[in-house]
Amino acid sequence: MKKRLLILLLVLLAALAAAMWWLRGNLDGLIKDAIVRYGSEMTQAEVQVGSVELHIKQGQAVIRNLKIGNPAGFKTPYALAVGEIELDLDMDTLMQKVVTVRKIAIKAPDVIYEKGESMTNFDALLKNIAVSLGSQSAGKAQSAKGQAEGKKLIVDELSLTQAKAQASAPFMNGQTVSLTLPDTTLRNLGKSKGGLHAAELGQEVASALNQKLASAFSFDHMAKSVSGAFEKAADSIKGLFGK
């Protein structure tokens, strides 16, 4: 009997070791799949990720080639594309309910700010995130698919640098205008609330970026400029033929 128990224990240990080896080799892929799945559900737009590289011993991670598409109704290919996002994690908090992220660095993102029929693409993304949080129906933040009891995050510092942006609207006839966005640094995200769910963190970042875009570019002003240019051109044509 003891021999059988020993054999069973060895088999279980071998299975556990194999599972840990598999998890270690596939953790990057699991994280990538989670970002794609829950990011797409949260924004109601296609989210793509090239790769995730996790360095557990150093407490660091790199997300490469992240692309967030547009919600339905928008014509530009995406809202945001970024080649590399670096994360620095506090590994002592990784197994706790609230995980501390020391730093998130979003480097040289490519942003397209599009005006639709009733709102911009970033307004639509924020609306979809709010719906996923349940803030419109329940009056309080909940993560998508009943994940309210999942891990929360506190981010000591989030930086968005060297952003390249362009604006587009139907009245611009397919043309775009390049925008200059200042570098942005957000600190102590979630600290006063005891942590943020991933969707809430996404909402904070999207809101900050939306404010920067709205400050950098006015679709109303551009529409008036385009309308004025058309009126001047029409007056010039009339002048050629007299009154």
Amino acid at 66: L
* Candidate from 22-26, 50-54, 104-108, 173-177 with smallest mean pLDDT: 22-26
Q: How far apart are CA 216 and CA 213, in angstroms?
A: 5
The H helix count followed by the E strand count for the chain is 4, 9
Q: What is the pLDDT of residue 225?
A: 58
Beta strand 80-89 pairing with 98-107: antiparallel
Closest CA to 190 of 126, 125, 132, 104: 104
- Tokens at 205, concatenated: 């970042």
Q: How far apart are CA 94 and CA 101, in angstroms?
A: 9
Q: What is the pLDDT of residue 237?
A: 33
Do residues 193 and 201 touch, judged by C-beta distance below 8 A? no
Q: What average pLDDT score do residues 212-240 get?
A: 58
Residue-wise burial string across 143-152, b where 16 or more C-beta atoms lie within 10 A, e elsewhere:
bbeeeeeebb
- 3-state secondary structure at position 52: strand
Quick: pLDDT tens for 150-193.
689 999 999 999 999 999 888 877 678 888 888 999 999 999 99
Cα angle 209-213-216, degrees, rounded to a multiple of 5: 140
Do residues 169 and 222 touch, judged by C-beta distance below 8 A? yes
Q: What is the pLDDT of residue 146?
A: 45
* Candidate from 14-28, 75-89, 123-137, 156-170 with smallest mean pLDDT: 14-28
Closest CA to 87 of 112, 66, 72, 71: 66
Q: What is the pLDDT of residue 28?
A: 77
